[in-house]
Amino acid sequence: MDFDVFIVGGGPVGLMTASELALAGVRTCIIERRHTPSHYSKALTLHPRSIEILEMRGLAERFKEKGRPLPAGHFAGLNQALDFSVLDTRANYTLFIPQTETEKVLEEHVQHLGVCILRGHEVLAVRQREESAELVVQGPDGLSFLTASYIVGADGAGSTVRKQAEIAFFGTDASVTAKLGDVALENPPKSHFHTCINQEGAVVIVPLSPGIYRVISMASHKPQPLLHEPVTLEELKKDITSICGTDFGINHPVWMSRFGNASRLAECYRSGRLFLAGDAAHIHFPAGGQGLNVGLQDAMNLGWKLAAVINGRSSDWLLDTYHTERHPVGAELLRNTQIQTKLFDFTREGLYLRDLLSSLLTFPDVNRYLAEQITALSVDYEADEKMPEHHLNGKRLPDFELTLAGGNTKHLYSFLHKGSFLYVTFGEEQIKLPDLPHVRIIRAKAIDDRPEWDDVKAALIRPDGHVAWAVSRSQAESEQWIADGIRRWCGNVHIQSA
Ligand SMILES: Cc1cc2nc3c(=O)[nH]c(=O)nc-3n(C[C@H](O)[C@H](O)[C@H](O)COP(=O)(O)OP(=O)(O)OC[C@H]3O[C@@H](n4cnc5c(N)ncnc54)[C@H](O)[C@@H]3O)c2cc1C
């Protein structure tokens, strides 16, 4: 079979990208070097914006069944947790869910959508030509040479696609390391999120699955062991005893690993027919639990754009917006994780600073500012400069209730399940659009408690839940702008005056 897109890497980001492409009818194949999915979970959290995008596709319930909601998140493991319950979202919590479960749900979903997954295949080389992109793949039956229109590198930190595309990965190597152990504890702590932080270092313990706990330790003493040195149970036991005064009866390690604060960002997320997403584009210390989340959001931004171009509805400018919109988000992710790493300072002065910042987090505005950053709810995109100015342009939309012209109320995200655009008109119909598979049209009466929508005559909502543009009632030549805006974003469709 011929494919339009090869995705290198079947981790969470590759799977999410495949799901978005397949939803739009794009012939997609994932190439994954692992023969079977990983049994171990690096990530344990899905944050509000990720839950929102899953809700947009009608998938959130499946994740909620496998996870546990917690009303909080954290910044640098400060004693005062971040309160997510105050955020402007229906998903105002952290979903505690092991990465293995996230991948399992996504893999079932993409299989249902007909995505081909080639496991046990490793991409060795990538090349692009004017009309196509090519891969050299090592599989169980030897080498094969594959061709598609585009390639997405979702192949993690050591990305072959990034290296083959010669995209620079600027940043710094690890200077701080931490240890992780998924272990049994004979005398586990009582709380669900147990932390000990003092001049000896920091320990975090959370229950993972029946009888198994995730223990993370960062000892303050130097020098730091090298990243590739295996963690021993003795080493972990020594850390937690010196930091917590007990070893909690640690035994039976299921998985132990060491990780560090190498921070790097790809110089560009696109090179012609090649794209990078997730850890292939950005790596950092996993502080605040953000990497997988930001990767899913990269995928959500890229998928519909690539599909629009492949399906002949848009041109290259849209693909360039993937870099211009997501690269600044990656840069901000590195900045906030570097700040958090700096705060893992266990000297006396460092602990004073942590106490001070903890007390600042009790101020609602400070809590909201950092919580919106960690959860990615503060991510808005630049307004489309080809459209008239409107304060909603580029903004992320929460899942608010709309009252439809007929009087029914519906949540906004329920119209985005198929990954189409949503064209919303208020009042009299302004223009007539033909039936289009990729544009859902609704007539709305009002959006309650959202004064920022009061002046809107019509708006186009992107498949990823951001406003492409809104046109106000007072806008001169509004019908012309609306028609132009639809053609610009949704393809050259035939539009009549109403
Ligand atoms: C200790 C730790 C805790 C973390 N906790 C959190 C958290 O709580 N929340 C959070 O959001 N993030 C967390 N992260 C980060 C998160 O795990 C990563 O950001 C996430 O796995 C990135 O997903 P990905 O799909 O981009 O890459 P990966 O998960 O690395 O997947 C890449 C895939 O590509 C495959 N691959 C690589 N090269 C090739 C090739 N040449 N050919 C074919 N296949 C290839 C690999 O086998 C792999 O399956 C944590 C990370 C660590 C280390």
Enumerate the CATH 3.50.50.60 domain ranges in the chain, comma separated. 5-173+263-375
42 lines ligand 1 (CB under 6 A): yes
What is the atom index within ligand 1 of the atom nearest the CA of 15?
A: 25
Q: How far away, in angstroms, is 234 Cα from ligand 1 center?
A: 27
Q: How far away, in angstroms, is 279 Cα from ligand 1 center?
A: 6
Tell me which residue has its CA closest to atom 14 in ligand 1: 43
What is the atom index within ligand 1 of the atom nearest the CA of 99?
A: 17
Asked if pLDDT for residue 231 goes beyond 70, the answer is: yes
Q: How far away, in angstroms, is 34 Cα from ligand 1 center?
A: 13
pLDDT at residue 88 in the model: 97
153 lines ligand 1 (CB under 6 A): no
Asked if pLDDT for residue 437 goes beyond 90, the answer is: no
pLDDT digits over 346-395, tens only?
999 999 999 999 999 999 999 999 999 999 999 999 999 999 999 999 99
pLDDT at residue 127 in the model: 97
Asked if pLDDT for residue 67 goes beyond 90, the answer is: yes
Q: pLDDT confidence of 228, banded at 50, 70, 90?
A: confident
Asked if pLDDT for residue 1 goes beyond 80, the answer is: no
Asked if pLDDT for residue 223 goes beyond 70, the answer is: no
Rounded-to-10 torsion of CA 185, 187, 188, 190: 170
Tell me which residue has its CA closest to atom 38 in ligand 1: 155
Q: How far away, in angstroms, is 50 Cα from ligand 1 center?
A: 16
Query: Can you say how many angstroms the Cα of residue 212 is from the centroid of all Cα atoms in its chain?
Result: 27
Asked if pLDDT for residue 99 goes beyond 80, the answer is: yes
**Mean of the pLDDT values across residues 88-96?**
98
* Cα 261 to Cα 195: distance, rounded to the nearest angstrom: 20
pLDDT at residue 472 in the model: 96
Q: How far away, in angstroms, is 437 Cα from ligand 1 center?
A: 34
Q: How far away, in angstroms, is 219 Cα from ligand 1 center?
A: 25
Enumerate the CATH 3.30.70.2450 domain ranges in the chain, comma separated. 177-260
Q: How far away, in angstroms, is 77 Cα from ligand 1 center?
A: 22
pLDDT at residue 283 in the model: 98
CATH architecture of 401-497: 3-Layer(aba) Sandwich (3.40)
pLDDT at residue 278 in the model: 98
- Which residues, 6 or more positions from 378, have their beta carbon under 8 angstroms from its beta carbon? 372
Task: State how far the alpha carbon of 496 is from the alpha carbons of 29, 425, 431, 482, in Å.
Answer: 39, 15, 6, 11
pLDDT at residue 484 in the model: 93
45 lines ligand 1 (CB under 6 A): yes
pLDDT at residue 432 in the model: 84
Enumerate the CATH 3.40.30.120 domain ranges in the chain, comma separated. 401-497
Choose one of 42, 119, 293 to mutate for the ligand 1 pocket test, by most ligand atoms within 8 angstroms of C-beta: 42
pLDDT digits over 300-339, tens only?
999 999 999 999 999 999 999 999 999 999 999 999 999 9
Tell me which residue has its CA closest to atom 41 in ligand 1: 123
Q: How far away, in angstroms, is 23 Cα from ligand 1 center?
A: 23
The CATH number that domain 5-173+263-375 falls under is 3.50.50.60
pLDDT at residue 446 in the model: 84
122 lines ligand 1 (CB under 6 A): yes
Asked if pLDDT for residue 222 goes beyond 70, the answer is: no
Higher pLDDT among residues 199 and 496, named by residue: 199
* Cα 494 to Cα 350: distance, rounded to the nearest angstrom: 63
303 lines ligand 1 (CB under 6 A): no
* DSSP assignment string, 340-402: HHHT---SHHHHHHHHHHHHHTTSHHHHHHHHHHHHTTT------TTS---TTTT-B----EE
pLDDT digits over 155-188, tens only?
999 999 999 999 999 999 999 999 999 999 999 9
Q: How far away, in angstroms, is 43 Cα from ligand 1 center?
A: 8
Q: pLDDT confidence of 241, banded at 50, 70, 90?
A: very high
pLDDT at residue 76 in the model: 96
pLDDT at residue 58 in the model: 98
Share of the chain above pLDDT 90, in %: 93
- Which residues, 6 or more positions from 354, have their beta carbon under 8 angstroms from its beta carbon? 76, 78, 79, 197, 343, 345
Domain 177-260, what fold? Alpha-Beta Plaits (3.30.70)
Apex CA 202: angle with CA 234 and CA 376, to 5°? 125
Tell me which residue has its CA closest to atom 18 in ligand 1: 292
178 lines ligand 1 (CB under 6 A): no
